[in-house]
Structure 1
Amino acid sequence: MEFPALSHHGGTRGVTGSCHQLHLDGTTSLLVDCGLEQGADAAPGAEFAPIGFDISGIQALVVTHVHLDHVGRIPALLAAGYRGPILCSEPSAKLLPLVLEDAYKLRVSADQVQVERYLALLQRLVVALPFEQWHDVVESKGVSCSVCLQRAGHLLGSAYVECDVRYPGTEPSARVVFSGDLGAPCNPLLRALQPPERADILVLESTYGDRLHAERSSRLQRLEAAIDRALADSGTLLIPAFSLGRTQELLYEIEDILHRKCLLSEGKVAGQGDPLLTLDWSRLPVILDSPLAQRITQAYTQLHEYWNCDARQRLGQGREPLGFGQLVSVDTHAKHQQVVNYLKSTGRPAIVIAGNGMCSGGRIVNYLKAMLGDPRHEVLFVGYQAKGTPGAILQASEGAEGFVQIDLDGEMYDIRAKVMTLSGYSGHADQAGLVEYAAGIPQAPTKIVLVHGESRAKTALANALKRRFSALGECPDILVAK
């Protein structure tokens, strides 16, 4: 085997389970991500399965970001005896325990003693690395390796990983880059993605390798229009959202909308007789009903130094984009049920953000049961809905006429509420973004390995990359990981 070499323990059959091993020599390696296969990618019982590969010789686990499809197998890795460092960015070091604690309670054990023991072990192993600084991971006579984390723009703390591998008497070093998940442009909180200076081997995600995203720059206006429409009917706007990343983006943009609405109302800028002027925008409740999303949002607020310039400038103006006065956090289940009953029985407008994002469980389900039958309300989807989930079924009812129902927890519910999908919130780069990232490397990679995507997406991205590099007079070897 020629080194450095790659093997893949996930992220090859679909868009989840990323787990890649970089072999430096016959006995020494790094692991990049240790993700859980989810949805259609997962075998039955995947969340409880053993790690499934030999961990001897792994010197470090490097985490690109803290979504479960990149970190969800860490409990299995620890159960297999791994006690090496878990390297990640400084924001990820704060977010990782929150995400894994929640997953551990749901999938392994809710026993507090076990949970605390697990978190204590995790905290001992996590090593927070600054962005844009090289960190020595392996130093030996036969091989040495340093890693550097660069911002990936996918969610707060997300990184792509540069690995610089050096062998005695061999120059230059070998540079292997793992993309992790790359973000789409125009994220309201995060700094823009920049391609690496160099990559001999590029391991590249391909989630949206076969499509282009809808225009993102107008999404704030479209979100505002959805809020106006729902609230004009004195209804509740229900937004099923994922706790990490999407919820924080939504809060940031809702704060901006409400801030401007309050200024308009105070200045009477809107037309006379405008029914929306009768709303007291300064008192419109924005209800965040997800304990995990609340903890993550608090961590995001504490990590404001990693926000982009525009977001930090808003803080400097005395505003609180993720903790504004109208934001109501619902913690206990009893309070959650009270809020559901109150909104169902009154005509007071409200915005509710609740988990889970695909309506397959979590607190959003109780809101749906209570409100789907009332046309005053609206369900707004801002994220991907996996095939077969209640969210996908509900989303498919958008614009339907006549009698439509949905099964929630074994009971049928009429869908009379409005249903809308708001595009432009994907956290992943599309085909154009992925091609620009790869083609933006000053010297073309020798090899590009495509991972983390459906077969059709990988094929389409491979063809797009070949066309782009051919136009540049380059011809890297483009492979699909197996």
Structure 2
Amino acid sequence: MSTTPLERVRADIEAETPDDIDISRVTFEGPELIIYSSTPEKFAARSGLIGELAGTVRKRITVRPAEGAQASPAEAKPKIVEMIPEDAGITNLQFYPETGEVLIEAEKPGLVIGRHASTLRDIQQEVGWTPEVLRTPPMESSTVDNVRKFLLENRDERREFLERTGEQIHREPMHETDYVRITTLGCCREVGRASFILNTPESRILVDCGDKPGAEGEVPYLQLEEANPIANLDAVVLTHAHLDHSALLPLLFKYGYDGPVYTTQATRDLMGLLQLDYLDVASKEGRTPPYESEMVREELKHTIPLDYGDVTDIAPDVKLTFHNAGHILGSAVCHFHVGDGFHNVVFSGDIHYEDTRLFNGAVNDFPRAETLVMESTYGKRNDHQTDQEESEEKLLDLIQETHDEGGQVVIPAFAVGRSQELMLVLEEAMREGEIPTMPIYLDGMIREATAIHTAYPEFLRDGLRDRILHEDENPFLADQFQQVDGGREMREDIAGDDPCVILSTSGMVTGGPIMGWLELLGGDPENTMIFVGYQAQGTLGRSIQSGRREIPFSDRGSRTKQLTLRFDVESVSGFSGHADRGGLMGFVETMHPRPEKILCVHGDEDATDQFSSALYQEFNVRTHAPKNTETFRLD
């Protein structure tokens, strides 16, 4: 009589488990294996047992108490509080009898976890509840609070979804894995609308689903046969939260998708923030949003966050591992292991190869990697950015000059990534007296995005993480940072006041509060606008950066008029979240192992062509600069 994969796994676990330990139920929740036991304290007492079982069945394992096997919440709460050091700063303690879990939210979760998870084991051994630990953000974040609250409120529904997903992942394969295909749905010979299908005879996975900045209506080619039916996709994988990778992902749920979205925890929160703002901006500009906010909530409900380095089953024949991409908070290089060693594909996402103030540089060391899908944003021959030290010096010189002339500096900045990098530079320069201390105004979502950064310091560069976690010197809480929350009236007051620096979304001048600053500051030659990030073709930012000074502008009455810009316009290149040409080449040169085939994507036509040619000539690997809607078979 044939047995199911779950039955076989349970049999393996029972064979390896001592007789005095009860196993009441075994189930999959997404990629994880959950063991329910009436003797969870005995699992906790044998600290190495769960690791041994995980090695046997090659799954991540969580042990939860069977119903009735744990102390009552009233009895358990004081014992848990007593076991956790007071310095941990517990801010929330909630019990979930349906799963036998206790949520512990604390300012210092490391103290809750204990050395080698010793405190967590002690808690489970003493009271029977399985602890789940979350960090209390040092800066209040409505996004983090709302996402956590929403997921907790929908905990039962999520558990049903996870069990359903677990059955799909661990189903019996129907086909032999004898090929892998990649179909390009967007971002080929262009920047934006990143989207790919990776499929095998057994499974189909969508990687990213973004929009194209400055090109309304140009969306990924989701109508292609390879992408359909969308409802039957095995998984969606999101490399990072920027809208050119994430904006249209909720659309999938409108089209009937009901499966998992794999991303990092930080990306999950950031994508919700950016997508809801995307809908808000579309509505304010009189455009019809492509989906309702309810679809963003559906997407959040279906996310399965993964940590860097965790090897995770996402389909019967595909394992996924995330690695740091160095681009923005939570951004990931995605490694797909297909079949039983049949083929390995790496999607770079967007990368920054060198360390920055915010992040460690991108990881490029993998067990195996036959094919690389590589971003090429700055892939042209002359796409060389100044190094970080020179870039910072130029930025500070421009701010000093503008300050001395009595002017104000406005910097169009992406809410996620570049803004926080600039905040660190400006805070240090003012603290050390390199430039005068002056207000730094944060307009748009920048402060909220910064709060999310402080909620996930484990994604930040080592020294910065330590400052936030251990030294109580959080640079993002400096007094000079002030939120612009008074609308147009506050902006008018700021524009008529003393010298200052204004960081404002949107980074490519495609809408949002930066438009108001153009109107308020653009006519004064004493002021300065500084571009610090990539300006895509077709965006107003690219036009201004290229020298255009007469721009169309819609005033509050919705009438379009011409606005003449008289302020100084400068560009400082070293703050991009993308690697430059040298960094891209360096990523491939030092990549271990060197891939056999490279697809150059996410760059305009010149960038992808020139980068593809350079890689072929330098490393003698097969390279392609694909067009959208092409399919590549990998054997």
Q: TM-score range by the shorter chain?
A: 0.7 to 0.9
Aligned partner letter, 2:305: A
| Cα distance in 2, alignment partners of residues 148 and 241 from structure 1 | 30
Q: How far apart, in 2, do the equivalents of 1:453 and 1:389 lie?
A: 15
Q: 1:235 to 1:193 in 2, by over 3 A?
A: same
Question: Deviations 1:52-71 (Å, cap 9, x if unpaired)?
Answer: 54125421101110111111
| Matches for 1:270-419 after TM superposition, within 5 Å | 281=437, 284-290=438-444, 292-315=445-468, 316-331=470-485, 335-346=486-497, 348-387=498-537, 389-397=539-547, 405-409=550-554, 410-419=560-569
Aligned in 2, Cα 1:47/1:29: closer, same or farther, shift over 3 Å?
closer
Is the alpha carbon distance of 1:469 and 1:252 closer, same or farther for their aligned partners in structure 2, counting shifts above 3 Å? same
Task: Please give the secondary structure, in 1, of the residue aligned with 2:573.
Answer: coil
Give the equivalent residue in structure 2 for 1:122. 299
Question: Alpha-carbon deviations, 1:374-397, whole Å to 9, x = none?
Answer: 233221221233445443343344
SS at match of 2:570: strand
Which residue is 2:370 aligned to?
200
**1:310: how far off?**
2.5
In 2, the alpha carbon distance for the partners of 1:51 and 1:310 equals 46
- 1:71 matched to 2:246? The reply is yes
TM-score scaled by structure 2? 0.64
Aligned equivalent of 1:183, options 346, 349, 352: 352
Question: Deviations 1:118-163 (Å, cap 9, x if unpaired)?
Answer: 3331221001001011001122xxxx21100000111111101111
What SS does the corresponding residue of 2:186 show, helix, strand or coil?
coil
Residue matched to 1:273: none
Structure 1 residue 317 displacement after superposition: 4.2
Residue 328 of structure 1: how far off its partner (Å) = 0.7
Who is 1:138 aligned against? Answer: 315
What is the CA-CA distance between 1:47 and the residue it aligns to? Answer: 5.8
SS in 2 for 1:154: coil
Matched, 1:20 2:196: yes
- What is the CA-CA distance between 1:98 and the residue it aligns to? 1.0
1:147 aligns with: 320
Matched to 1:298, the amino acid is: A
1:297 partner SS? helix
Work out the CA distance in 1 between the residues paired with 2:379 and 2:219. Answer: 27
Number of residue equivalences? 436
TM-score (norm 1): 0.83
> Please, which moves more after superposition, 314-323 or 215-224?
314-323
Equivalents in 2 of 1:48, 1:11: separation in Å?
A: 8
Higher relative contact order (CA 8 A, sep 6+): 1
Residues 123 and 213 of structure 1: CA distance in aligned 2, closer, same or farther (over 3 Å): same
Corresponding residue number in structure 2 for 1:271: none
Matches within 5 A, 1:453-464: 453-464=603-614
Q: Is the 8 A contact 2:386 2:573 kept in 1?
A: yes
2:274 counterpart residue number: 99
Supply the distance in 2 between the matched residues of 1:293 and 1:457 (Cα, whole angstroms): 30
Query: Which of residues 214, 219, 241 is equivalent to 2:386?
Result: 214
Looking at structure 2, the residues matched to 339 and 437 of structure 1 have their Cα atoms a distance apart, in angstroms, of: 45
CA distance in 1, matches of 2:495, 2:278: 31
Is residue 409–residue 528 contact of structure 2 (8 Å, CA) maintained in 1?
A: yes
Q: Which moved more, 1:88-97 or 1:30-39?
A: 30-39
* 1:384-442 deviation line (CA, Å, top 9, x unaligned): 334454433433449xxxxx654433333443322221221121112222222223233
Q: Please say if residues 435 and 468 of structure 1, whose CA atoms lie closer than 8 Å, have aligned partners that are also in contact.
A: no
Provide the residue aligned with 2:112 in structure 1: none
Equivalent position of 1:82 in the other structure: 257
- Structure 2 counterpart of 1:362, which letter? G
1:479 corresponding residue in structure 2: 624
Aligned pairs (5 A) from 1:228-239: 228-239=400-411
